[in-house]
Structure 1
Amino acid sequence: MIAPMVLSCLTVCVVAYVLGRVARDKMDPDHLAAVAKEIRRDHHTGDIKAWPQSRRSGSAVNGGQSGHQTSVATDIRDQNPDEGSKANWKIWVNAALTAGLLTCLVLEVADLMVLFIIGFIIALLVNFPRPSTQGEVIRQHAANAVPVVMLVLGAGVFTGILTETGMTTAMATTLIGGIPEELGGLIPVAAALIGIPLSFFMANDAYFFGIVPVLAESAAQYGIPAIDMARASVIGQMAHSIGPTSAPLWALLGIIGANLGDFQKFAWKPVLIGSLAYLGFALLTGAIALNL
């Protein structure tokens, strides 16, 4: 799946460029020039305090809601006058910390929660050594973290209901049962297409542990290997990233002060294009075989 993933990433970059150009054309050129100038200045000085007032107050973004968070971040930087001069080495430390955390996660050095808590503590001490600043950072992000925790708990309940009542098995069996026997070789493609809306609405646990095994069992009757079904099942993960059961999405929406419904209305078309392109590349490269 490496080749389809690389090609899909390129497609996403192209779509992102087009969306960026469209959004850029709708913005005030003078404002863009002012912001670009200040970003270049900040890149050389490492100082956030000189940013335009519109960026600090959030008057140009989401009606000022995200501006409150920007001003809080500015206040934190104000308490650390040496922050700009330390930014360079902190970038490398943060990068090394991220790489080390990912390595430990892959190697299963410790439980996931333990590793993330340790990583959080190290990142907090490195980036905000003052206890008063640490408290401000935690308070700033707590409002976004609590809803995510509640979402994860709710998704767990939803997953349990779907799995234990047999609804996931019934849905998968019904969907696959609609495929004529002579077209059984197209089950991987059908599973990939079905996976797009299912990944959007369902948590990954319910989808991968509840529905995908049923699909793989149905495909095995037509001589389709389980690995093909596993590859087909990940096609819809782009849709999951904008679905209501995606915890990182809720954290992002809280940070930027956006509404889930408005975001989904904007994102579903690019995500659908990316998902279909991913499926197309998987078929072209042979990652998902057509057993006709």
Structure 2
Amino acid sequence: MLSIIGFLTIAVIVALLISGRITPIMGLAVVPVIGALAAGFNPVEIGAFFNDGIASVISVVIMFIFAILFFGIMQDSGLFDPLINKMVTLSKGNVTAVAVATVIIGAVAHLDGSGASTFLITIPALLPLYLKLKMNPYLLLLLIGLSASIMNMVPWAGPIGRAGAVLGVDASELWRPLIPVQISALLLLIVLAVFLGMLEKRRIARLTEAEQAKLEAAAAAEVDAGSDDTKESLKRPKLLFVNLLLALTVIGILVWGVIPSGLVFMLGLSIALPLNYPQVDLQMERIKAHAPNALMMAAIILAAGSFLGIMNGSGMLDSLAQDLVYILPAFVVPYLHVIMGVFGVPFDLVLSTDAYYFALLPVVEQIVTAHGIDSITAAYTMIIGNIIGTFVSPFSPALWLALGLAGLEMGKHIRYSFFWVWGFSLVLMFVAFLLGVI
């Protein structure tokens, strides 16, 4: 009975998250409580489960809040602008160079871990160039999406924080072994960008005169939004070197791992704010500007902590995992995490990120660890297999923003990008296996 209630609880959460009818916070907070009550636990016991769950994720919450605020301030100050502008200038006129520059710009722009800000920075800067060179704008979205997905492995971006919350492991500790995978992925993506750039050059050469005229008209119709006075007033070009040194120091200490990640970003933010914006009122404005992203992610992680605390404390996850072992064929069970990783990108089409990490990962981890598979290995396999598909998923709000900015369609984007993304994720899983990460 406990397994049935646990299964129904997870199924209802996944269904609600897929339907988009409620927020992840509501689903993760309310449904497990109803499930625990149905399983016969009283409010006092459920409260104890909740406290245990919150305690397991509080460090992740602190890190998320201050990391998003810190990198938001770095974006405001214009830290990444020179590199982005230089890459755009150097790549003009060369289709292959533009494709490679898109990868680098996307990686730099996604250092703050926010998909929305990444697309807001990159698409307005690069779309006119793509149209002018008659390049396919869906290629722009594919390359930025892949680059941002690779950078999504940083602990403040989302997926790693979610996995850390599920496993009860600090997100920074979970991230450090993934750094070689990230570097390898970026190098592979540059190679893929060169290949896709060459294919794009051949496609452009085959365009008819009518098609070329249509593309030139589209490029001419692209309106230059002009400079935003408010954003320009926040730039601190004279502090570029100091901000770069501060950002590198924060990342270096984070990789070193001697100080808790939350404290690292808290101290970094405490230095970055008065350094760039000495007036207290302006400091508060900058915090308010980035607070919605920070608080939304923190709230989701806290709700996930409640969900995991109740599911673990009540024994529903353990019971469900044990009973699933009896249902699944014996030869499948020890490799379940690999199967989930291989189909991680297709799962992005039917599951939201929250459903994948908070509903699927805990069950798979419980099953495979009972067969001698390390829980971290299981998590890495599922993360690497799935994370590359982040921005091909219709459940990604940032992707809808990107489509709106570029004037593109979700269906065409999925048709254009899906198999490139899935193939890239499978190659990356193999690279991670060679590196000994999975």
Smaller-chain TM-score range?
A: 0.5 to 0.7
Is the Cα–Cα contact under 8 Å of residues 304 and 358 in structure 2 kept in the other structure?
Answer: no
1:56-205 matches, within 5 Å, as 56=227, 70-77=228-235, 83-84=236-237, 86=238, 90-169=239-318, 172-173=321-322, 180-182=329-331, 186-187=335-336, 189-193=338-342, 197=347, 200-202=353-355
Q: Deviations over 1:6-31 (max 9, x none)?
A: 55334444667759x79x99794347
The alignment partner of 1:155 has SS state of helix
In structure 2, C-alpha distance between the alignment counterparts of 1:227 and 1:143, rounded to whole Å: 31
Report the CA distance between 1:54 and its aligned residue. 1.1
**Taking structure 1 as reference, are residues 225 and 134 closer, same or farther at Cα in structure 2, changes over 3 Å only?**
closer
Rounded Cα–Cα distance in structure 1 between residues aligned with 2:283 and 2:337: 49
Q: Distance in 2 between matches of 1:144 and 1:125?
A: 21
Cα deviation, 1:218-237, whole Å, max 9, x if unaligned, reads 2x3xxx67776465344235
CA displacement 1:28-79 (0-9 Å, x = unmatched): 43477xxxxxxxxxxxxxxxxxxx86143xxxxxxxxxxxxx55313435xx
Q: Do structure 1's residue 217 and structure 2's residue 407 form an aligned pair?
A: no
Cα shift at 1:122 = 1.0
For the pair 1:54 / 2:207, whether they are aligned, the reply is no
- Equivalent-residue separation in structure 2 for 1:74 and 1:175 (angstroms): 56
Distance (whole Å) between structure 2 residues aligned to residue 172 and residue 263 of structure 1: 40
RMSD: 5.0
Q: Distance in 2 between matches of 1:152 and 1:234?
A: 17
2: CA distance, partners of 1:9 / 1:176: 37
Q: Aligned partners of 1:254 and 1:126: how far apart in 2?
A: 35
Structure 1's 103 and 4: CA in aligned 2 closer, same or farther, altered over 3 A?
Answer: closer
Provide the identity percentage: 22
Q: What's the CA shift for 1:117?
A: 1.6
Which amino acid in structure 1 is aligned with residue 234 of structure 2? Answer: I
CA shift at 1:278, angstroms? 2.0
Q: How does 1:279-290 map to 2 (within 5 A)?
A: 279-282=429-432, 285=434, 287=436
Q: Distance in 1 between matches of 2:341 and 2:188?
A: 18
Unaligned runs of 5+ in 2: 1-177, 205-211
Task: Show CA shifts across 1:154-206 (max 9, x none).
Answer: 22223334433444445555666565445667456325336664893447587
CA distance in 2, matches of 1:243, 1:161: 32
Q: Which amino acid aligns with 2:289?
A: Q
Q: Is the 8 A contact 2:254 2:264 kept in 1?
A: yes
Q: Which residue of 2 aligns with 1:275?
A: 425
Letter in 2 for 1:74: E
Match of 2:41 in 1: none
Letter matched to residue 428 of structure 2: Y
1:8 aligned onto 2:185: yes
> For residues 254-288 of structure 1, what are the alpha-carbon distances to aligned partners after superposition, in whole Å with 9 as ceiling and x for unaligned?
998979xx9997578365443223224445x3848
Deviation for aligned residue 1:215: 1.0
CA–CA distance in 2 between the matches of 1:141 and 1:255? 17
Who is 1:40 aligned against? none
* Count of residue correspondences: 235
Q: Give the conservation status (yes or no) of the 8 Å contact 2:321–2:363.
A: no
Q: In the alignment, residue 275 of structure 1 is paired with which amino acid?
A: S
Q: 1:72 to 1:209 in 2, by over 3 A?
A: same
Q: Read off the aligned partner of 1:148 and give its amino acid letter.
A: M
- 2:385–2:425 CA contact under 8 A, matched in 1: yes
Partner of 1:44: none
> Contact 1:173–1:214 (CA<8 Å) still a contact in 2?
yes
- Distance, in Å, in 2 between the alignment partners of 1:254 and 1:124 is 31
Q: Secondary structure at the match of 2:370?
A: helix
Q: 1:142 and 1:234, CA in 2 relative to 1: closer, same or farther beyond 3 A?
A: closer
Distance 2:323 2:343 in 1: 12
For structure 1, list consecutive stretches of 5 or more residues without a partner in the other structure.
33-51, 57-69, 78-82
- For 2:286 and 2:383, the matched residues in 1 are separated by 35
2:338/2:381 contact within 8 Å kept: yes
CA distance, structure 2, for counterparts of residue 121 and residue 161 of structure 1: 35
Q: Partners in 2 of 1:264 and 1:164 — Cα distance?
A: 40
CA contact (8 A) 1:101 1:119 kept: yes
**Distance in structure 2 (CA, Å) of the matches to 1:201 and 1:263:** 24
